[in-house]
Amino acid sequence: MADSVTRVARKERTLGPVLRIWVVLVGFVLVAPTLVVIPMSFGAGSTFQFPPGGWSLRWYGEFFGSKQWLASLANSVQVGLLAAALATVLGVAAAFGLDRARFRGRGAVRQLLMAPMILPGIVVAVAVYGVFLRWQLNGTMLGFVLAHTVLGVPFVITSVQTSLAGYDPAMERAAASLGASRLTTLRKVVLPLIAPGVTSGFVFAFATSFDEVVIALFLQTPDLKTLPVKMYESIVLEIDPTIAAASSLIVVCTTILLLVPQILRRRSDHDR
């Protein structure tokens, strides 16, 4: 009775009413503080107010009118894109290597590549600062990109490895036997299959870089700072609701970004 077994299994998976309320509650506690900044960013007063006394776009005007804010936003986007691209190239190669090759110390290599995800950010930051001081990379775009690439690689490895898990290497031999060269096989078989994993890896790597503050605080100079660094300074030095506008922008952008892989995955499920 396969049908009834399926039905029983499905029943098991639906949530009871108490659990449902609990889930909503936990979700609210996690998300609500983040969402508070959005109404605050539309406030009319010159201090943080929740709920705001009046409404205005004043702080968005302030944000987009300020050279400093815009420069830091541009820096963040640039560092994020470059770091994500580099992390994607390295991470995809590493994921393939870890998946295919059987070599001594494979586990250790994997742990090493994943370490930035586990190590406390401040430890990494101090270490990076020390090394970059010697290499004269502090305060350079290259320095930011390299440091954030290291942070992004684990995300790419994880997501590509997930898409390689259901991947049968015999497919590449099948493609070859059917007359496809290595390059054609890569283009027609391998890449389409790992594309969702690569995309979400790229997005995670970008998002990681985009809101990274600890390392960026060490690497920054007055001439080159990323958006989170600028936000930190603004809250320490000025306390001005422009930061609420900046936060809102970041929240909205990263949320949209993180939804992209979800949507992609749902669509590819649909195709199948």
Partner 1 sequence: MTDDHRSGITTAHVTKEYPGIGRPAVDDVSLDIADGEFMTFLGPSGSGKTTMLSMIAGFTPLTAGSITVDGQEISGLKPHRRDLGVVFQQYALFPHMTVARNVAFGLARRGRPRAEIERRVADALEMVGLAALGDRFPRQLSGGQQQRVALARAVVYEPRALLMDEPLGALDKKLRDQLQREIARMHRQLGMTFLFVTHDQQEALTLSDRITVFNDGRVEQVGTPEDLYERPRTLFVAQFVGESNALRLNPGEVTIVRPERVTLHSGTGAPAGHQRASAVVTDVVYVGDHSRVWLRYGDGTRGCAVLPAGAVHEHRPGADVVVAWHPEHQAVVPDSEPDVAERVAS
Site for partner 1, rule CB under 8 A: 166, 168, 170-171, 173-181, 184, 188-189, 192-193, 268, 271-272
In the complex, least distance from residue 250 CB atom to partner 1, rounded to whole angstroms: 34
In the complex, least distance from residue 193 CB atom to partner 1, rounded to whole angstroms: 6
Comparison of 189 and 231: residue with beta carbon closer to partner 1: 189
The Cα-based distances of 175 to 128, 192, 198 in angstroms read: 44, 14, 21
Contact 204, 80 (CB under 8 A): no
Cα 80–Cα 82–Cα 83 angle in degrees, nearest 5: 65
In the complex, least distance from residue 174 CB atom to partner 1, rounded to whole angstroms: 4
Comparison of 118 and 170: residue with beta carbon closer to partner 1: 170
122-139 burial code (b ≥16 CB/10 A, e <16):
eebbeebbeebeeeebbb
Comparison of 67 and 272: residue with beta carbon closer to partner 1: 272
In the complex, least distance from residue 169 CB atom to partner 1, rounded to whole angstroms: 9
The type of residue at 205 is A
Comparison of 82 and 189: residue with beta carbon closer to partner 1: 189
Burial of 6 (0-12, 13-18, 19+ CB in 10 A): exposed
